[in-house]
Amino acid sequence: MPATTATTARSPRMTVTGTTLVIAAPARTPVPARTRRPRGPYRRLFALPGTRGFTAGNLIARLPMGMFGVSAVMMIAGQRGSYALAGAVTATGLAATALVAPWTARLVDRHGQARIALPAALIAVLGSLSLVVCVRTEAPAWTLFASYAATATTPNIGGLSRARWTHLLRGDPAAHHTAMSFEQAADELSFMLGPVLAAFLCTTAFPEAGTLAGAALLLIGMVVFTLQRSTEPPVTAAPRRGSPVRALAPLLLLFLALGTVFGSMEVASIAHLDELGLGAASGLVLALQAAGSCAAGLLYGTLRPRSLRTCVIALALLMTLPWAAANTGSLAALCVALLLAGMATAPTMVTAMSRVHARTPEGRLNEGMTLAVTAIFAGIAAGSACAGLTVDHAGPVVAYVLPAGAALAALAVAAKGRAINRI
């Protein structure tokens, strides 16, 4: 039989060759390959091995940072009936932290996070437990000061976490910027939720509940954090030359001014709301500033970093809004103003912290970041004191001039020289 070829009108095609029937596969229409959507910067960040583990411990241990002060004040004032004593005890703890924290950070740099941070956290927890016992048993007042001063060994968990990101993301400045933005958002979140949780526990359970819960969270979080050994920065063998204080001096002035912004804004807002008869809502209203900073921090992590000068200019402009809103006497206007003012905080802090990373001598990163935090605490104390005096003598509306003035001072520092603006 001669070879013939027959083609069906439908696919597949059939070809007869001799006595063999061959069925040809249908021609396939090329299907365009699916374009993979690029991962977001935060998804890429937490895809790195070990990052989720140390971040979980970091967030747990960070929450008590916003709890301890409020819990101590409510516990001492509730049991001893003296806000003056409560304020003096917490002020002593803040002063002790300013002295002890840099030394703790220096030990971390020399010996590693796991070997120093966990024992230091344990000492702080024992100090908190001692404070509870002394308050409960009506021990002499000096025991309260000594107990709360022992909590000064609390490690700077934000600095420890930032050091891990810096170690993991060396050579990738874009990812490092995202990580630093996340850390700043976590700071804001802890200081937004911590006081609310502390007040809730102290008022609904018993006066010591906030301190006990904070101590438990600190210890659990530090255990989880330090167990993640694969992401821990190695102890450098490089010579420890240069002083972080000398290298960071202009930046420490900047952080001092930023702390003054935060401290004076808080006192001015509490006093203004109390004058309006809305003192009970002060916690929620102040949380708006932290919420704005938290949201701005997460957004800033997805954008290209801006110069420090640009960030501080935005801060100086937006810090005038609460003063303008306070002059109207409108609660809604004040809420919006605080939300917008808070949105300038995180980008400024993230960018300033990147300068700390760049200027700190090798092998002293934890110490450098802790010095920055200590400068912020000093500024908060100074801002709170100045705002309190201004409220007593001129009223809370005038006190809103202080955060704006402190932001201008920060701008003057940021514009002072080229070194502070170089990464």
pLDDT at 317: 96
Residue 16 lies in a domain: no
Task: DSSP for 280-337, please give it.
Answer: GGHHHHHHHHHHHHHHHHHHHTTSPPPPHHHHHHHHHHHTTHHHHHHHHT-HHHHHHH
Rounded CA separation 407/396 (Å): 18
Length of the chain: 423
Same domain, yes or no, for 279 and 164?
no
**Counting runs of H as helices and runs of E as strands, what totals does the chain give?**
18, 2
Q: Is the pLDDT of residue 358 over 70?
A: yes
With contact defined as beta carbons under 8 Å apart, do 202 and 210 qualify? yes
Question: What is the Cβ-side half-sphere exposure of residue 366, based on CA atoms within 13 angstroms?
Answer: 29
Confidence of residue 199 (pLDDT cuts 50, 70, 90): confident
Rounded CA separation 29/32 (Å): 9
Same domain, yes or no, for 288 and 140?
no
With contact defined as beta carbons under 8 Å apart, do 144 and 82 qualify? no
Same domain, yes or no, for 228 and 260?
no
Same domain, yes or no, for 258 and 198?
no
Range in 53-57, 182-186, 224-228, 242-246 the model is least confident about: 242-246
Residue 27 lies in a domain: no
How many angstroms separate the Cα of 239 from the Cα of each of 13, 113, 115, 216, 364?
A: 78, 19, 21, 38, 10
Rounded CA separation 391/378 (Å): 20
For 336-355, how does the pLDDT look when each residue is reduced to its tens digit (9 = 90+)?
A: 999 999 999 999 999 999 88
Residue 37 lies in a domain: no
Confidence of residue 38 (pLDDT cuts 50, 70, 90): low
CATH number where 382 lies: 1.20.1250.20
Which of 201, 216, 235 is the last residue before a domain boundary?
235
Residue 32 lies in a domain: no
For 60-71, how does the pLDDT look when each residue is reduced to its tens digit (9 = 90+)?
A: 999 998 888 888
Range in 125-134, 190-199, 413-422 the model is least confident about: 413-422
pLDDT at 383: 87
Residue 15 lies in a domain: no
Q: Give Dmax over CA atoms of the chain in angstroms.
A: 117
* Number of domains present in the structure of the chain: 2
With contact defined as beta carbons under 8 Å apart, do 126 and 219 qualify? no
**pTM above threshold 0.85:** no
Beta bridge partners of 22: 15
Beta bridge partners of 20: 17
Q: Where in the sequence is the domain holding 289, given as residue range(s)? A: 237-423
Same domain, yes or no, for 243 and 230?
no
pLDDT at 60: 95
- Burial of 160 per CB tally in 10 Å (0-12, 13-18, 19+): buried
Rounded CA separation 372/395 (Å): 31
Same domain, yes or no, for 231 and 243?
no
Which of 235, 260, 291 is the last residue before a domain boundary?
235
Which of 235, 259, 290 is the last residue before a domain boundary?
235
Rounded CA separation 92/95 (Å): 5
In degrees and rounded to multiples of 5, residue 15 shows phi and psi of -125, 130
How many angstroms separate the Cα of 192 from the Cα of each of 293, 399, 411?
A: 10, 22, 26
Same domain, yes or no, for 134 and 171?
yes
Rounded CA separation 139/145 (Å): 11
